Amino acid sequence: MLSHDLLAWYADHRRDLPWRHTNDPYSIWVSEIMLQQTRVDTVLPYYKRFMARFPTAAALANATQEEVLKLWEGLGYYARARNLHRAAQIIVDRFDGHLPPLERELDRLPGIGRYTADALGAIAFDRDVLALEGNLRRVITRLFDLHLDPRLPEGEREIRRLGLTVMPPGRASEFNQALMDLGALICTPRAPACAECPIATHCIAHHNGTQEQLPFRKPRRPLPLRQSVAAVLHENERLLITRRPEAGLLGGLWGFPGGFITNGESNPLALSRVVKDQLGLEIVVDRPMPALSHTYTHFRAALQPFTCRVRSTSRHLRERGDVRWVKVEELDNVPMGKLDRMLATELERSPPWIAIAPPIERR
């Protein structure tokens, strides 16, 4: 039987992961949020630090958002951290610090969608639900040789229906995680290791030789490039940083004032306008910027020292909660995205200047 073969393989080959050493729903929840669109190896050090600092929902709820973001810095998709923090506060206020066990309740919490609600239902609460994520979609698609796009509603419905037919009642936690490990270790997107697969004899795609072509995907549109600018403003030994809006790129993190350029403005003018809009500072640049390269992997090559003067600093800056002056060595103590950390590093070489960031390639 398929489930028997799968669970026997899982008993011998399951990955040893910190969140598999516990039945605590909070611990499993944190792992599920961190693992969204993020590889296990990337998550591990973040997870350990986070759980050491916030071992319970109450500990997380009592923290400041800034501290939560600081621990998340570098992990990406920062809305996850803000939503996790908010949800912890809701759980403390409305559920006495404990996650509700039903998917329809979990699904209402910020940052928890269909998948995470089902994963918690299955893994933390032993409920007979299928937690459909990338691995399960691919594995089930191949098992049944489905020629449907798994991301579209019709494909998802069919995957869920067929998956449930092979899930043994009462063992949803093991079964879901076994399929995840199978997808991560054996039934990989490219070059699946069918010779080592414990359920290859049950796999219709393997029988038909179609596993390499599945799951079917529509080609994606090419990604646009967007150009951004940032100002690095010195005052003696201090640097000006601002807190970014919660919505959008690197939301809630601290960084140098700046933004995306629109309408093909020349770079110095765009920078002047963005900084003026954000801070009320007049910036005077005294020579034009050179051409720039195309992705921020080439960031260092694109940086050009650039002399400038700040015409006026206004007192209202000091009163704004989203603006700070920090010493260079303190930059490590506020949550900033990677791009801005690179700017900070570059700044220490040749202050002061205004940096024009090359276009950001969206993914």
At its nearest, how many Å lie between DNA and the CB of residue 135?
A: 4
Residue from 32, 103, 133, 174 carrying the catalytic annotation: 32
> φ and ψ at 284, to 5 degrees?
-110, 125
Sequence-distant (6+) residues with CB within 8 A of 340 are 230, 241, 250, 253, 254, 255, 256
Separation between Cα atoms, residue 34 and residue 47, nearest integer Å: 8
**Among the residue ranges 175-183, 285-293, 306-314, 324-332, the one whose residues contact DNA (CB under 7 A):** 175-183
Are the CB atoms for 87 and 111 separated by under 8 Å? yes
Could you tell me how many helices (H) and strands (E) the chain has, helices first? 16, 11
Torsion of CA 184, 188, 191, 195, to 10 degrees: 70
The yes or no reply on residue 338 touching DNA (CB under 7 A) is yes
Contact 84/75 with Cβ under 8 angstroms?
no
Determine if 169 is a binding residue for DNA (CB under 7 A). no
Total residues binding DNA (CB under 7 A)? 56
Residue whose CB is less far from DNA, 131 or 283: 131
Q: Between 17 and 58, whose beta carbon lies closer to DNA?
A: 17
Q: Please, what is the minimum distance in Å from the beta carbon of residue 298 to DNA?
A: 8
Q: Figure out which of the listed residues 101, 134, 280, 352 binds DNA, where binding follows CB under 7 A.
A: 134
**217 vs 309, which CB is nearer to DNA?**
217
We find the least distance from the C-beta atom of residue 349 to DNA, in angstroms, to be 21
| Phi–psi pair at 136, nearest 5 degrees | -65, -40
174 binds DNA (CB under 7 A): no
Give the nearer residue to DNA in terms of CB position, either 84 or 199. Answer: 84
Q: Does 25 bind DNA (CB under 7 A)?
A: no
Task: Give strand pairing partners of 229.
Answer: 259
CA distance 25 to 96: 14
Smallest Cα–Cα separation from 238: which of 308, 305, 331? 331
Measured CA distances, 262 to 86, 249, 270, 356 (Å): 33, 16, 8, 14
Q: What is the smallest separation between the CB atom of 92 and DNA, expressed in angstroms? A: 18
Q: Is 362 in the site for DNA (CB under 7 A)?
A: yes
Three-state SS for 1? coil
Residue 137 or residue 306: which is nearer to DNA going by CB? 137
Identify which of residues 148 and 326 has a Cβ nearer to DNA in the complex.
Answer: 148
Q: Give min distance, CB of 13 to DNA, in A.
A: 13
Q: Is 110 in the site for DNA (CB under 7 A)?
A: yes
Query: Is there a cis peptide before residue 352, judged by omega within 30 degrees of 0?
Result: yes
Residue 46 binding DNA, by CB under 7 A: no
Q: Which of 6, 26, 32, 347 binds DNA (CB under 7 A)?
A: 32
Q: How far is the CB of 58 from DNA (least distance, A)?
A: 21
Which DSSP string do the residues of 277-288 spell out, in sequence order?
A: HHH--EEEE-SP
Active site residue 32: yes
Place of tokens 């940083």: 241
Q: Binding of DNA at residue 38 (CB under 7 A)?
A: yes
Q: Which of 12, 16, 21, 37 binds DNA (CB under 7 A)?
A: 37
Q: Is 250 in the site for DNA (CB under 7 A)?
A: yes
DSSP state at residue 211: G
The size of the chain, in residues, is 363
Asked if 192 and 198 count as a contact pair (C-beta separation under 8 A), the reply is no
Q: Is 153 exposed, middle or buried (0-12, 13-18, 19+ CB in 10 A)?
A: exposed
**Taking CB under 7 A as the rule, does residue 135 contact DNA?**
yes
Active site residues: 32
Catalog residues that contact DNA under the rule CB under 7 A: 17, 19-20, 31-32, 35-42, 74-79, 83, 110-117, 133-135, 138, 152-153, 177, 180-181, 183-184, 189, 217, 219-221, 224, 248-251, 295, 297, 337-339, 362-363
